[in-house]
Amino acid sequence: MKKLVVSLSAALMLSASIAEACTRVVFHGDNNRNITARSMDWKTDIGTNLWILPKGVERNGEAGDRSISWKAKYGSVVATAYDIATTDGVNEVGLNANLLWLVESEYPSLASLSEKPTLAISLWAQYMLDNFETVAEAVDFLKTEPFVIVTGEMPGETRLATLHLSLSDATGDSAIIEYINGEQVIHHSRNYQVMTNSPTYDKQLAMNEYWQQIGGTTMLPGTNRAADRFARASFYINAIPRNGSQKDSFASVFSVIRNVSVPFGLNTEEEPNISSTRWRTVVDHQAQLYFFESAISPNVFGVDLKKIDFSPKADNVKRLALGKDQSQIYSGETSSEFVVTKPFTFLGVTEEELQTEIAKQTAAVKSLNTEDQAQLLENESSH
């Protein structure tokens, strides 16, 4: 089991040299046709498969003895990362959850929150899908800060997973959840239609005001930088027709998420670590449709959640294997092509590993306090 850790400094230094890039947009159409799209950009294949996860499943936070526990209220269709984490998905009542990279993420200290339940970051999105129907319901719950997120090393890497979470639902509501300087920050509004990566969401909004004043028909930034993708997505998602047919709305939303994607295999001398768009998903919340598009497959295919049996049976856990680089070709509606499979195991941390990290954090805090006291005494003696 890959060790989970809760220190952030190493992650910030290592992630600075690697440009991870994803984008998420929410379209508000007429007749309550609300559609969410996201792109998954990564330097290497993240081993994504699609899974049907039924309701009624007992889960826990996979983060030591204090792990939060729950029973899934809703079934869901999810896209995994390495088959150890849910990174994208929609549940049977229309809530969509997406995890995107945010290098500024800093999760709460376990040492200072010794009594609060823990949740491994691999289960963050899944917890939302299992338990909530609407964004408002999820936000009300999260405001109570019911658990501590425990992050960990990316598979095959030494840097930590630094992620933020977006939620959207059938009403078109939206929320962005980030952890900045160890504090949870929630941005909740139907107007928060776009999320990318760095900088933090409040700064993204401020930067986008500049481009809104210029106007998208005058000039839009064209690079693959997160702030540029944010500006383009924000303009285009509100410039496409709202009253189109379902087919036309899908085409428009796919066009927007493709516009902010990164060409597959892009590699420049100036930025050799740019991530390519590996796949895209589009969710029609009202119609309960989940579409998937791989960068190297010729077809878009879909899953109709209305055709899925989400009842709590072991043989209702099913997988659609996408192959290396998600190169397996599917077409049309694919719910019948999922195969009964043993559930994947979410990446977690043992109690021993957790206690080791808590001890390190406690020692680090004591060391800082000692240094601060010494500096204070030195300052007083100099006056």
**Which residues does the annotation mark as catalytic?**
22
The label of the residue with tokens 């309701």 reads 55
123 alpha carbon, distance to own chain's centre: 11
Query: Cα separation of 109 and 190, whole Å?
Result: 31
Structure tokens at 92: 């049977």
Nearest to 318 by CA among 91, 71, 53: 53
Q: How far, CA to CA in Å, does 331 sit from each of 57, 77, 223, 299, 326?
A: 30, 17, 32, 6, 13
Look at the chain and count its residues: 383
**Strand ranges of the sheet holding 174-180, from the earlier edge strand across to the other edge:** 183-188, 174-180, 163-168, 96-101, 85-91, 76-81, 50-53, 318-320, 339-340
Q: Could you tell me the two tokens for 71?
A: 């029973």
